[in-house]
Amino acid sequence: MMTQMIPNQLSLQYQPRQTTIKWKPFSKKWKDYIHKGFKSKMSVAEGSIRSGKTIANCIIACDFLERCPDKLHLATGSTIANAKLNIGDSNGYGLEHLFRGRCRWGKYKDNEALYINTLTGEKILIFAGGGKADSYKKILGNSYGLWIATEINLHFDSDDSRISFIKTALGRQLASIESKILWDFNPCAPTHPIYSNYVDKYKIINYLGGYNYQHFTLMDNLSITPERLEEIMQTYEVGSLWYRRDILGERCIAQGLCYEYFANNTKEFIVKDDYKKNEIIKITVGVDFGGSLSATTFVASGITK
């Protein structure tokens, strides 16, 4: 006896949910950074908290993922949770929302990943944390086209490229067909190696493919109303280190300082060939012997009459 197959009436064609992101006006600085970012191989957004740095990079990442030929890409934060919150979600403006209806979360070789359908095929964005000394192990074995990183200053770095997460991630892009780097971070101490090794170093060299740097303050985020901005300002002491770092996005040392001005303006106190004229009466040499992969540092301080 043959049984007639009855179509499952509940099997309906999947219709992706659609929504419109309610964007606030973009400031000129935002627009300039994003437009230049479309054409630049590397973009770095530095500045105050809540100034929109990560969201700007997510917009640039969308454009790149839509048209790039590579399939595998990388998104990182100090932890994987940080990467998923800031880059994936980002208060409704992250990549999972910008690609809503044509992306899904899943696993790729035991790594958290966002699968994205684009005009040039499926892209796989692998999410990873980069803050620990062994974090580099999670990103080995693949070539990545895009690397978008939030809080890059909190990623583990070392002179030994074999264990440095930053150097490993950069090296993973060497064999890609088309690469792109998007970094953001809140300012840190002026002497932080993220500046001398990467951010400021790339400003002064002829970075092939184009280098796009922008500094943002809280006032550059036009989604914060003047009324709300005034409320925020009431919680800060204008001119304080906290204010300079969080609102103005300035590079400054905020903890443990006896001589704040000296620490933030060291070049003013460096003595060159005319040291004898200054009648130095005492010189103290301090040595910090590095351990656990940190550097060894020598500092000589002189006191005049």
Binning pLDDT at 50, 70 and 90, where does residue 261 land?
confident
Q: 172, 197, 226: which is the final residue of a domain?
A: 226
The fraction of the chain above a pLDDT of 70, given in percent, is 89
For residue 245, give the nearest of 183, 196, 184, 188 by alpha carbon.
Answer: 188
Co-location of 98 and 191 in the same domain:
yes
- Does residue 40 fall inside a structural domain? yes
- Cα gap 72→57, rounded to integer Å: 18
Reduced to 3 states (helix: H, G, I; strand: E, B; else coil), residue 86 is helix
Q: What pLDDT is recorded for position 187? A: 93
**φ and ψ at 73, to 5 degrees?**
-140, 170
Q: Are residues 208 and 285 in the same domain?
A: no
Which of 54, 57, 28 shows the shortest CA–CA distance to 40? 57
Same domain, 172 and 34: yes
Q: Are residues 60 and 179 in the same domain?
A: yes
Measured CA to CA, the distance from residue 203 to residue 205 in angstroms comes to 6
70, 172: one domain: yes
104: domain CATH number is 3.40.50.300
Domain count, the chain: 2
5 pLDDT above the threshold of 50: no
169 and 298: one domain?
no
Written as one string, the DSSP assignment of 197-219 is IIIHHHHHS--TT-EEEEEE-GG
| In a domain? residue 16 | no
pLDDT confidence of 254, banded at 50, 70, 90? low
* pLDDT single digits (tens) 109-137: 999 999 999 999 999 999 999 999 999 99
Distance from C-alpha of 156 to C-alpha of 151, rounded to nearest angstrom: 11
Q: Token digits for 236?
A: 């800060």
pLDDT at 14 exceeding the cut of 90: no
Does 196 fall in a domain? yes
pLDDT at 18 over 70: no
Is 5 inside any structural domain? no
Q: Are residues 199 and 294 in the same domain?
A: no
112: three-class secondary structure by DSSP: strand
Instruction: Tell me whether residue 41 is exposed, middle or buried, using C-beta atoms within 10 angstroms of its C-beta: 0 to 12, 13 to 18, 19 or more.
Output: middle
Q: Residues 41-63: what's their mean pLDDT? A: 95
Q: How far apart are CA 72 and CA 75, in angstroms?
A: 10
Residues 174-190 have a mean pLDDT of 95
pLDDT of residue 11: 37
Q: Is the same domain home to 66 and 179?
A: yes
Instruction: Give me the mean pLDDT over the 127-148 stretch.
Output: 96
3-state SS string for 18-51: CCCCCCCCCCHHHHHHHHHHHHCCEEEEEECCCC
Query: Is residue 10 in some structural domain?
Result: no
Supply the pTM of this predicted model: 0.79
- C-alpha–C-alpha distance, residues 113 and 107, integer Å: 5
Q: Residue 294: give the domain boundaries.
A: 271-304
DSSP 8-class letter at 115: E
Examine residue 262 and state whether it is found in any structural domain, yes or no.
no
Q: For residues 141-153, give the mean pLDDT.
A: 97
246, part of any domain: no
Q: Are 32 and 85 found together in one domain?
A: yes
Say yes or no to pLDDT of 13 above 70.
no
Contact 58, 90 (CB under 8 A): yes
46 and 148 together in one domain: yes
**Does 13 reside within a domain?**
no
Residue 85 sits in the same domain as residue 171 = yes
Q: E strands, 62-218, where?
A: 72-77, 103-108, 111-118, 121-129, 146-150, 180-185, 211-216
Burial of 60 (0-12, 13-18, 19+ CB in 10 A): buried
Whether residues 153 and 64 fall in one domain: yes
